[in-house]
A and B are shown apart, each in its own frame.
Chain A
């Protein structure tokens, strides 16, 4: 993949151009609506930023990307002003560049290993990726890929998140018939029900999904596989030759603390689903949503930041939203950019603090959270210093809304009804990493259902791996 020939200009001496900042809307303006926060590069900014790339022959950035985007290749095209060519270059390995450019944790992936980072801030790979993909779409220049002649083979893709979308796209191109089964009433998985509009506009996700429809995928919404139909029925009765399972990790974890079932306490999934999928923030939609004046969000990952920032927007000016997190600042798992944006928007960080119980009123609504202060001890299994409660530091914080964002695990509809699918004790599917093959013949899996909650690009990478294996499997039938 990464080894193909590239035409590159001769190596230049590094020019001292600073990393170009991406225009963003003012915090006090944007935290009142759901329009996108970051505005993206202009062509001028993209041209300048592209010059910062050294076109390194060893291109460590490519190895830092889970789907090995030809980063120097596309940036070279950007520097020549061929934005559409650049977008097409990325799409050779990454189908959703306008999504990944926005939500990839670049600072831990491609940009972390960028050579420029040794002397300066890394090349803004993600921002460039986002720019060219947006440019291509806005110019109406998105072209449908070539499709191989029909093979007559049928594949069922279960779940329409990034993993399912990627698999479908690749298999359709290979000439197979693809039917996508999705439990919810919209395609896109976490991209539509989890990540809010202000970070990932749904019109962009819809445009990407449109491509799959144009390539001829059959879409079946409201199909909860394991309930509406089983995997065995798909294979044995409905004539599918193979099945890909990309059902994600959708089951929210709770703290199991006293009072957690009080009114006003919900999972981030519930809160974000009401906001994003059910569009509670739009007047014409009837979904109820409630945010009080003192909101506590438990957790510090991307999900917690999304919930906190969405709560701020729903709750209005005088709402106070705090993150409660038991570890310290530099241990917060959310992307750096999201933390920064959250802080700018007025989210309060209550660190080294852990909730121990929730206190309610007589009508069963939460009124306060009892917390305890923490200090950092020895490193634990994850290598992070373990938080330890400080005795006697218990205190109560006034709270009328609590959003629990602790992470998610896979649901069991499929594993319970397909006994020959092997799972781990966490409920994730056991697969061969090189192929996505499960323990059941003709059944492949990838994305969060295999790894537990991870990232969009990792789910897409798993989808690509599985698509190659499915192609091989179908060829051998």
Chain B
């Protein structure tokens, strides 16, 4: 059992947890993730380690309700425990000094981005962060990102806060302003990462995307997380989750995300039925 010691709602549908996992806390590096199984009948869900405290032996996770499994995870309370927490998995981000780095986060991808922004800043980079959300209510980690970025630009799709529009558009603006950019890191919905990759491609700005491939074990055993990167097939859980965004076949990833749509909808419907039964 991996005990939950803290729980905090960040936005509608987005919750932050601190979970006791001392072995993970002491070896984890930014960019890595865990695989969590909530209870015996649950799926294994990959989640980024947003922060960790090796002293207290805790890791922080930010979970967005996307479907059945994440909804179940978010229903856990302080004092409860997750049955299994495996990690740290994946390759850590290369924390070098690149110069000027623009980090583009969207939705819950912002949670994945946060430890990377923090690490890149500590490595001596000038970090400009573009934090995007659909609307003001859904925006997360504004304060935290502000504290570790040289400049923070907020975007909302509906203009309810910050700049109206997408992160990719703001990035294009920075490039047009002749800003010298050495690296772009994009983490968020697959469509958004694809858009960012298309913005930087003509300028040959090295761009990294952190893929949220479908995973089962997270240990290189199933190949369910295969991604096509250039001419090669890679396993996102072992070789990633970060890859060169100019080489990733994003369309393939988008298609993979819809493969189990029907089965997942069934699970959700069952869960809703059950909740209604209980209420009645």
Q: Name A residues whose Cβ lies closer than 8 Å to a Cβ of B.
A: 183-185, 193, 221-224, 227-229, 250-252, 254, 256, 260-261, 263-264, 266-267, 269-270, 273-274, 278-279, 284-290, 363-365, 411, 413
Contact = CB atoms under 8 A, between A and B. Distances in A.
Nearest to B90: A227
Interface string B134-159: 00000000000000000000000000
Given A228-B24, A256-B233, A273-B222, A183 B255 contact: no
B41 A270 contact: no
B247 to A, nearest CB: 14
A221 B1 CA distance: 11
B260 A267 contact: no
A312 to B, nearest CB: 19
Contact of A229 (B27, B258, B263): B27
B86 interface: yes
Contacts of B238: 411
Given A183-B219, A286-B68, A228 B264 contact: no
Contacts of A286: 41-43, 68-69, 267
A274 B216 contact: yes
Given A263-B256, A269-B223, A364-B252, A222 B233 contact: no
B226 interface: yes
A403 B29 CA distance: 35
Nearest to B255: A364
B94 to A, nearest CB: 16
B86 A288 contact: no
Contacts of B86: 183, 185, 222-224, 228
Interface of B: 23-24, 27, 37, 41-44, 68-69, 83-89, 216-217, 219-224, 226-228, 233, 238, 249, 251-252, 255-256, 258-260, 263-264, 267
The 5 nearest A-B residue pairs measured at CB = A364-B255, A270-B222, A288-B263, A222-B86, A288-B260
Contacts of A185: 37, 44, 83-84, 86
A285 B41 CA distance: 4
A363 B255 contact: yes
30 contacts: A183-B219, A184-B217, A184-B219, A185-B37, A221-B84, A222-B84, A222-B85, A222-B86, A223-B86, A224-B89, A228-B23, A228-B24, A250-B219, A256-B233, A261-B226, A261-B233, A263-B259, A266-B224, A270-B222, A270-B224, A273-B216, A273-B221, A278-B216, A290-B263, A364-B252, A411-B219, A411-B220, A411-B221, A413-B219, A413-B220
Contacts of A413: 219-220
A146 B79 CA distance: 41
Contacts of A274: 216
A228 B23 CA distance: 6
A193 B85 CA distance: 18
Given A250-B221, A363-B255, 20 more contacts: A185-B83, A185-B86, A227-B87, A227-B88, A227-B89, A228-B87, A252-B223, A254-B223, A260-B233, A261-B226, A261-B228, A263-B256, A266-B223, A286-B43, A288-B267, A290-B259, A290-B260, A364-B251, A365-B259, A411-B219
Contacts of A227: 27, 87-89
Q: Of A193, A252, A285, A286, which is in contact with the most chain B CB atoms at under 10 Å from its CB? A: A286
Contact of B222 (A222, A263, A269, A288): A269
Contacts of B219: 183-184, 224, 250, 411, 413
B165 to A, nearest CB: 29
A222 B217 CA distance: 11
A273 B255 CA distance: 22
A264 B222 CA distance: 14
A251 B219 CA distance: 9
Nearest to A284: B41
Nearest to B238: A411
Contacts of A288: 43, 260, 263-264, 267
B221 A251 contact: yes
B191 to A, nearest CB: 15
Contacts of A273: 216-217, 221-222
Given A274-B216, A364-B252, A229 B43 contact: no
B260 A254 contact: no
A75 B24 CA distance: 50
Contacts of B222: 252, 266-267, 269-270, 273
B69 A228 contact: no
Nearest to A224: B219
B233 A254 contact: yes
Given A286-B267, A287-B43, A228 B88 contact: yes
Contacts of B249: 261
A255 to B, nearest CB: 11
